[in-house]
Structure 1
Amino acid sequence: MNDYSVVPDRGVNGWIVKLQDVAPTETYTSRAEAIEEAERLAKENTPSRVLVYDSKLEIEEEKKF
C-alpha cells in the first residue's frame, strides 16, 4: 500500500505531498490543492491512503483508496 502524506512546509509556508513520507513530489501554496493532488495520486496507484497532517504535524484526516 502506498502512503501519500500532505504536510506543511515550514520554510516556504506551503504544503508538500510526500510518497511514503520520504520523497516529496511537489510543493503547493494551498492546503486544498495539495490534498487534491495527493488524492489524485492515490486513486491512480491503488491500494493507497492519504494522510493529511495539520500545522502541528498531527494526523488530521486519513482516506483510503
Structure 2
Amino acid sequence: MKEYSVVPNKDVTGWMVKIEDVAPEKLYDERDAAIAEAEEIAQKNKPSRVIIMDQNHEVEEERTY
C-alpha cells in the first residue's frame, strides 16, 4: 500500500504532499489544496493511504483508498 502524507513545511507557511514520507511532491499555500492533491494521487494509485498532519506534525486524520 502506498502512503501519501500532507504535512506543513518548517515555518508552517505552506503545506507539502509527500510520497512514502520521503520526498515532497509539491508545496501548496493552502492546506485544503494539498489534501485535495494527495487524495487525487491516492485514488489513482489504489490501494493507498493519505495521512493528514496538523501544524504540530501530529496525525489528524487517515484516509484509505
Counterpart of 1:4 in structure 2 is: 4
Displacement of 1:11 in angstroms is: 3.9
Please, which runs of 5 or more residues in structure 2 have no aligned partner? none
Runs of 4+ in 1 over 6 A off after TM superposition: none
TM-score under structure 1 normalisation? Answer: 0.96
The CA distance in 2 between the partners of 1:20 and 1:11, in whole Å, is 22
- When residues 12 and 59 of structure 1 are mapped into structure 2, their CA distance, relative to the original with a 3 A threshold, is closer
1:1-65 alignment runs, 5 A limit: 1-11=1-11, 13-65=13-65
Question: How far did residue 12 of structure 1 move?
Answer: 6.6
Identical residues among aligned pairs (%): 51
Tell me the C-alpha RMSD between the 2 structures.
Answer: 1.0
Shift of 1:27: 0.3
TM-score (norm 2): 0.96
Aligned pair count? 65
